[in-house]
Amino acid sequence: MAKTKKTILPNPETPEKFTGLNTSEPKKVAAGIPAVISSAKHVFSEMGIARGLKALANLNQKDGIDCPGCAWPDPDDERSAIAEYCENGAKAIAEEATTKKLTPDFFTKNSIVELSNLSDYEIGKKGRIAQPMYVPKGGTHYKEISWEDAFKLTAKHLNALDSPNEAIFYTSGRTSNEAAFLYQLFVREYGTNNLPDCSNMCHESSGVALTETLGIGKGTVTLAGFYKTEVILILGQNPGTNHPRMLSALQKAKENGATIIAINPIIETGLLNFRNPQKLKGALGISAKLTDLYLQVKLNGDMALLQALTKLLLEKEDAIAHSVFDWDFINLKTNGVEEYLSHIRSLDLNTLIEACGISLAQLKVVVALLSEKKKIIACWAMGLTQHKNSVNTIKEIVNLLLLKGSIGKEGAGTCPVRGHSNVQGDRTMGIYEKPPKDLLHKIEAVFGFLPPQENGFDTVQSIEAMHSNKAKVFFGMGGNFLSATPDTLFTAKALQNCNLTVQVSTKLNRSHLIHGKEALILPCLGRTDKDRSGGELQFVTVENSMGVVHSSKGSLNPISDKLLSEPQLVCRLAKETLPNSKVSWSLFENNYDAIRDHIEACIPGFNDFNKRVREPGGFYLPNGPRNNDYNTATGKANFTVSSVTSIPLQADEFLMMTVRSHDQFNTTIYGLNDRYRGVYNERRVVFINPRDIAKLNLAEGAVVDLYNVADDTIRIAKKFILVAYNIPQQCIATYFPETNVLVPIKSTADHSNTPTSKSVVVTIKKHNS
């Protein structure tokens, strides 16, 4: 009897192989000449010197390329002629503008299974995809397909569904305003609000909290406000790696007299000292101290810390009335203060101190400082937004700012620091599974069709729908969905259940290799590429973290003539899918000014869009709280009452947070080093307190497996190396996406449904070969 040949399936996880760990002491200073050397190395290894210098010269300039990395704002006034970018911005440009390209011959020589056994770093370094690719049902290799046939295939699958709600339309944060507006317009005319996006996985908690308390789901500060503030609180954020240009703003704030307080479980180099390579002192190796007070809080201890500070502030206010709180502001502009302060009085200070892990002495130093200040900026990132209690924790930040009157004045307010260059703009354009009714009414009035009224699926709900076969087509506008999402094996199965998966991409990633029964890769232009749609050089627009809308214009020749811009791609797909559409897709395909005219007609704040966006630096969108105008249910800024909730751990359990390395942006892996933390040539590591290593009866360098047990499922991440590190006991840190496999799909933040990637309960066991 003949043996049955075993089917080898693509690998949804990063392979369990080591690359050779080297460690050193963590660095004490961020940036400086090492950052310049690293930038040059990455850029010039991916493209020639002339192409590289041209890209960098235009990066973040007022008529140039908006960095495809983070959403930190550009200066309103003069930009640096030397380098208006950071190390990670240079790495992002190197990745996108590489001259390496993947032709059909590459895909013929490399099967999907073979490619899936590469690491995410190895996959990403292969190069730009140069033409549309297709894998048929049962296929083992991608093969070239024409754009016309790709659109026909997608339209066929979409129109064969029993309901438009069986399709998922995901969006990455790098999508331009023009493409995002067209994309949501197409999806809603098609008939669904299934528009999950990367916001669902990062700052959704911020949007929910800020909308309820302040009436806008965005930050309230401006970059200029950093230079006029008295105190900057930085919570759950590592700007040295994730938003390096923020360091320049912090340096200038310090020079102007601001005090910086960092709150983070790990001592991060980028919060300590900074050598600005664009300044003579930085180039000469002279460092600027950034953080004045560093509170090494326990994982998920931020709410307890904030309430402990507020309780101590309240004690001072009770002792001497009107000495600490801004009662004129509170009485005129806020609602709910009595109930809130009654709640704070009822709390036990010792319980809060135990929950946050910060000593009373340290807390009193902070309180003494905050008591005297009236202009406070609070910054945060995913260290705050990816816990079960994230929404309430962010509301607690707002409570503190309201007590101090630190909203609605220059140099004070909220600053959620977004992680992708246009993630905020995409939401403004209507990429949202819960669209505001005003937007739907505008679409109906302007375009003449009735959009769907019911809410769609967010990211987690989309994964669950695909997993249960309730959704059958997945369309991804950018991003690396599999590697960005939680519960990797669960998500992989969800994608594989689909009849068709479509990925709009610039480079190869793991989401192309874990696909539906049929799959398409549709290659698009990047930010750096010249867009000559309609025979003219086009530009697109983006919105940064502080609500500034500005242009971005590519300056490099594309690596292939078979790439489409995202607006072109959406228009051509819409025409194929909706032959009786009421939208003038052919007009929009080649005329981006026409797209902007219709954005102006539908989205508040975009009056004279085409005129104002051509002004150097762009324009600010309206922001009510900046002017003490609060579009809330009460018409005022709202205090809210929340209770600290703990995550009980057994003696052998740890709370894990996933983090980026310094050679990484989101799921894009630029290299294998994390030099600020002293880790080189390896990503499969666990940062752990030395005392915890001893309790495990293991040694630093031991190879271990990580386990999570939830929802009757055992999740395992195998073969990680223990690295002794300065982190609170029973707290560990690991890199994503390698440990996303441990994040349960059902473990999400209350109210926002964001995966709790910073609060994963795990056990650690020695790996047995």
Give the pLDDT mean for 264-280. 83
333 has pLDDT over 60: yes
Q: Which two tokens stand for residue 362?
A: 């340290």
- Using CA atoms, how far apart are residues 187 and 177, in angstroms rounded to an integer? 15
The pLDDT of residue 248 is above 50: yes
pLDDT (tens digit, 9 = 90+) per residue, 585-621?
A: 999 999 999 999 999 999 999 999 999 999 998 999 9
Beta bridge partners of 295: 263
- Whether the pLDDT of residue 160 is over 70: the answer is yes
pLDDT category, 554, cuts 50, 70, 90? confident
Could you give the CA distance from residue 324 to residue 313 in angstroms, rounded to a whole number?
Answer: 7
Question: Residue 719: which H helix or E strand, with range?
Answer: strand 713-724
| pLDDT tens per residue across span 669-727 | 999 999 999 999 999 999 999 999 999 999 999 999 999 999 999 999 999 999 999 99
Residue 7 pLDDT > 60, yes or no?
Answer: no
Over residues 415-419, mean pLDDT = 89
- As a whole number, mean pLDDT of residues 93-114 equals 93
384 pairs with which residues across the strands?
A: none
Instruction: From residue 599, give the alpha-carbon distance in Å to each of 65, 242, 299, 445, 621.
Output: 21, 31, 42, 13, 13
Half-sphere exposure of 690 (CA within 13 A, CB side): 3
Q: Are 496 and 511 spatial neighbours (Cβ–Cβ below 8 Å)? A: no
pLDDT > 70: percent of the chain? 96
Q: How far apart are CA 269 and CA 582, in angstroms?
A: 54
Query: The pTM is what?
Result: 0.95
Give the angle 610-613-615 at the CA atoms, nearest 5°.
115
Check residue 262 and give its pLDDT.
97
d(CA 537, CA 502): 28
